[in-house]
Amino acid sequence: MKPFTTLLKQQQGKINTSFRLGKIMGIPIYLHISWFIIFALVIWSLSFFVFPHEFPNWNRSLYWIVGIVTSILFFASVVAHELAHSWFSLRQGIPVRSITLFIFGGVARISRESPKPLEELVMAAAGPVSSLVLAGAFSLIWWLVGSYSEPIRAMTGWLIYINISLAAFNLIPGFPLDGGRVLRSILWKASDNYKWATLWASRIGRWVAYIFIFAGIYGFFVPFRIGLLEFGGIGSLWLAFIGWFLENAASSSYQQAMLREALKGLKVRDVITRDCVSVPQENTLKQVAQEHIIPAGRSCFLATDGIRLSGIITLKDIKAIPQTQWDTTLLKQAMTPIDQLQIARMEDDATEILDRLDQEDINQLPVIENGILVGIVTKENLIRFIRTRSELGI
User: Which residues lie near Zn ion (CB under 5 A)?
Assistant: 1, 127, 170, 178
DSSP string, 345-393: -TTSBHHHHHHHHHHHT-SEEEEEETTEEEEEEEHHHHHHHHHHHHHHT
What is the nearest approach in angstroms of Zn ion to the Cβ of residue 178? Answer: 4
Least spacing, CB of residue 104 vs Zn ion, in Å = 11
How far apart CA 246 and CA 264 sit, in angstroms, is 27
**292 residue type, one letter:** H
Q: How far is the CB of 153 from Zn ion (least distance, A)?
A: 28
Q: Cα–Cα distance between 338 and 303 in angstroms, integer?
A: 9
CA distances from 117 to 24, 104, 113, 258, 280 (A): 27, 27, 10, 16, 50
The residue at minimum Cβ distance from Zn ion is 127
Options 54, 82, 347, 391, the catalytic residue: 82
Identity of the residue numbered 380: E
- 246 near 213, Cβ under 8 Å? no
Note if 360 is an active site residue: no
Orientation angle between helical segments 117-145 and 178-191, nearest 10 degrees: 140
Q: How far is CA 143 from CA 63, 154, 157, 179, 275, in A?
A: 21, 12, 10, 30, 69
CB of 89 to Zn ion, least distance (A): 11
- Smallest separation (angstroms) from Zn ion to the CB of 112: 17
Q: Which of 182-209 are b and which e, b meaning 16 or more Cβ less than 10 Å from the residue's Cβ?
A: bbbbbbbeeeeebeebbbbbbebbbebb
Residues classed as catalytic: 82
